[in-house]
Amino acid sequence: MEVKRISEYVWEIPPTEKPGMLVPARIIASAELLAEMDRGVFEQVTNVACLPGIYRYAICMPDGHWGYGFPIGGVAAFDVKEGVISPGGIGFDINCGMRLLRTNLTEAEVRPRLRELVDRLYQAVPAGVGVKGFVKLSRSQLQDVMVQGAGWCIRNGYGWPGDEGRIEDGGRIAWADPAAVSARAVERGIGQLGTLGSGNHYLEIQVLYPENIFDAELAAALGLDRPNQVVVMFHCGSRGFGHQVGTDYLQIFARAMPRYGIRVVDKELACAPFQSPEGQQYFGAMASAANSAFANRQVITHRIREVFSDVFKRDPRELGLEIIYDVAHNIAKVERYTFDGEEKELLVHRKGATRSFGPGSPGLPPPFDRLGQPVIVGGSMETGSFVLMGTRQAMEEAFGSTAHGSGRTMSRTAARKKTHGRDLLKRLEEKGIMVRAASYEGVAEEAGFAYKDISQVAETVDAAGLSRRVALLKPIGNVKG
Amino acid sequence: MGGYRFLEDVAIADVAFEAWGVDLADLLSAAGEATFAVMADLAGIPEELTRRVRLEAPDPETLLFAWLEELIYRKDVDAVVFSRFAVKVTEGPLLRLEATCIGAPIRQDQMRMRADVKAVTYHLFSVERGEDGWRARVVLDI
């Protein structure tokens, strides 16, 4: 496949490379990361470039890897009138995302209590296969969660006033339609609020060392304001509720496609016109699942505040456990962009990609209207994670998007063969990282060597202008599903 | 006799497997086992409970997808892991599946659990009938 270099970090596959491509496919990567990308990325990003109504180009981020349908790291924008919506461009884990909390504590204060803290967090935030959360919802309460998102939690005692302002879209997507959600999705999700999940989902205690600050002013503006500061980051989504919404609509769209004359090369790219009844129903169901994911992360935030308060015998407000930000990295939204002087309304799909709105972008509340939107890029449990800031250039070149993680380079079975979870936990403990996991084998699957170098990913999106590095956070404690 | 193997380096963040069986029922049973083997070490799962599943579908592809989707759904709703299946498929205007799923409630502290399966995907999804029986390829979202 011909891959042309457009600039140092932008590579393009022209539409002549595959029958049916409507626009070019672009990969944002350093030469080194591009060389490491598996062949699935090239196939999948060019498949996305064939979907009806795609605008300008299909994009894959530097952490991209072979997914199902879209590549992970995929970004695609569709004309809202002529284009499609595709559950495969969002992923089954609707609004899988990252949340970062700050504290006033330093590593020196936390280290002596670290084991207790990790154990208590493991108990308070259930992780792994088949666990239930502590919030018992009735069906009508789950409907309220679908519509109100994080706000429902805050009004019901699981949060603080002001938390919403630190969550993408205020923790509530306005176009949720619970009537478009199946009874199966409700059954599957009703007991799972406040659970972490498994796979690459985690909850981590991290430290901001002074040498890992890239932009001190921005860091301070976000609340990263003291040497060796302890923060808490976690990665999770809409759990079985969202997984079922994705599953339901994938089948609905697969059946509907012939009616709309749509053919796709991979059935996982099943889609429907955005303006069709099926398209609009999925959009409403997806928003309901997205709001439940915001609620899930809000309830987990509440549990974290409780645990820190219990362990340190201080009020969580006094401990400064405020939200720095919360991002969604599996979602589709209608957004406005100006290209060549013309304003366009586009349905932007992000599957394993983070919104990276720059300063002055519409819809950002203070202080982010001035600073830009914070971006949280989670790494493996060994390497650390990045906080970055959205840029105007991301708006111009990548539909306001950037990377979301470090990206896998090794299969789960291969990782499991290479190390045993118990040995890995021991090695991590020797390095000062305390891990509690629901599954030893799950730990082995998430070993650092199974991932790309996150620093390279962050460096690339920074150099490519899609987001600016603010700080690197290093793990000292980890709860894994 | 049915069986399965995991495929390396296909959709690497997720899990792909190939399953086979002498007939369609055998294939469905093997694919069910493969799906739960992603989530737990099946050797350590006691046989404590059974659940009945009945499904109908117009073709083998739709039936396999619906079967795995049903198993993933029950895993979350009932918090159970299944390690063995007795599957019967009868042909007619529709394919009719009747299955007994055997397993246990999930107890993390007593079972070797692995990664949760979120969904069955259509990516590279295939069901084929060959001279020596049935074969399928499935990618599961983790």
Cβ–Cβ of B77/A187 closer than 8 Å?
Answer: yes
Mean pLDDT for chain B?
95
pLDDT category at A481 given cuts 50, 70, 90 is: confident
Provide the residue ranges of all domains of chain B, joining segments of one domain with +. 3-141
Specify the fold of B3-141.
Answer: Archease, Possible Chaperone; Chain: A; domain 1 (3.55.10)
Q: B15 contacts in A (CB within 8 Å)?
A: 412-413
| Per-residue pLDDT reduced to its tens digit, A198-210 | 989 999 999 999 9
By Cβ distance, the residue of B76, B115, B123 closest to A188 is: B76
| Per-residue pLDDT reduced to its tens digit, A17-31 | 999 999 999 999 999
Size of interface A-B (CB pairs under 8 A): 146
Q: A243 contacts in B (CB within 8 Å)?
A: 72, 76, 118-119, 141
Whether A261 maps to a domain, the answer reads yes
pLDDT category at A402 given cuts 50, 70, 90 is: very high
b or e along A424-456 (b: 16 or more beta carbons within 10 Å of the residue's beta carbon)?
bbeebeeeebbbbbbbbbbbbbbbbebbbbbeb
Range in A99-103, A118-122, A409-413 with the lowest mean pLDDT: A409-413
| Per-residue pLDDT reduced to its tens digit, A118-142 | 999 999 999 999 899 999 999 999 9
Alpha-carbon distance of A71 to A88, in angstroms, equals 9
Cβ–Cβ of B65/A251 closer than 8 Å?
Answer: yes
pTM of the model: 0.97
Domain that includes residue A297, residue range: 4-82+96-409+451-480
Alpha-carbon distance of A131 to A141, in angstroms, equals 20
Active-site entry in A329, A349, A404, A420: A404
In chain A, which among 233-292 make CB contacts under 8 A with chain B?
240, 243-244, 246-247, 250-251, 254, 266-268, 270
With a cut of 0.90, is the ipTM above it? Answer: yes
Reply yes or no on whether A243 is catalytic. Answer: no
Q: Residue A199 belongs to a domain with what CATH number?
A: 3.90.1860.10
Question: What per-residue confidence (pLDDT) applies to A310?
Answer: 98
pLDDT at A382 over 90: no
Q: B65 contacts in A (CB within 8 Å)?
A: 251
CA distance A154 to chain B (A): 26
pLDDT at B107 over 90: yes
Question: What per-residue confidence (pLDDT) applies to B8?
Answer: 82
User: What are φ and ψ of residue A380, in 5° steps?
Assistant: -75, 170
Nearest CA in chain A to B69: A247
Cβ–Cβ of B139/A266 closer than 8 Å?
Answer: no
| Residues whose CB falls within 8 Å of the CB of residue A408, separated by 6 or more in sequence, listed in order | A65, A450, A451, A452, B12, B13
The pLDDT > 90 percentage for chain A reads 90
Question: What per-residue confidence (pLDDT) applies to A416?
Answer: 87
Cβ–Cβ of A243/B119 closer than 8 Å?
Answer: yes
pLDDT at A454 over 90: yes
Counting the structural domains of chain A, the total is: 1
